[in-house]
Amino acid sequence: MDAPFTKVPTVVVGALLLAGCINHREPIPPVEQSPVQIAPAPPAPTFEQTGKASWYGDWHHGKKTASGEKFDKNEYSAAHRTLPLGTEARVTNLDNGKTVDVTVNDRGPYKPGRVIDLSEAAANELDIKDKGVARVKIEVVEETPQNSAVSTASVTK
């Protein structure tokens, strides 16, 4: 009779042989992931308008503007019909190339054929105070509306 432990080596050797026959697959290398690419922000809305500019000063000085602040003829501000209040705009005198940056804080102009009313200080920078009216180009520099409910309202007069 065979001893009960004589079959153990045979079973172990058989198991090892069977394990050697199992198909070992190579480990799958990790997939290289490219860094997350964030799409660039869409370009800021652009606004450009040409037309006639006029200015206002003494008569309005100290009065309330559409934004709620007092008009100061010595600040660089402007009135525009549709640009949001608080918008920073660059105004260029097309006759002499001079530019000034203004903040839209009021509504207007109310005279037909004009696209912007400038404060007296802005008009001085553009050399249009004496003439009263000049052809200008308006470009938005930064749109920072102070009150969207008021700023998107259109003015009709």
Q: What is the mean pLDDT of residues 116-138?
A: 96
In this predicted model, what pLDDT tens digit does every residue of 36-83 receive, in sequence order? 777 776 665 588 999 999 999 888 999 999 999 999 999 999 999 999
Q: pLDDT class for 28, splitting at 50, 70, 90?
A: confident
* Token pair 């207007």 in the structure block, residue: 108
Q: Tell me what pLDDT residue 50 has.
A: 97
Q: Is 132 left (phi over 0), alpha (psi -120 to 50) or beta?
A: left
Q: Residue 120 has what DSSP assignment?
A: H
| CATH class in words for 48-147 | mainly beta
First to last CA, the chain: 120
Q: Tell me what pLDDT residue 38 has.
A: 78
- What would the 3-class secondary structure string for 20-48 be? HHCCCCCCCCCCCCCCCCCCCCCCCCCCE
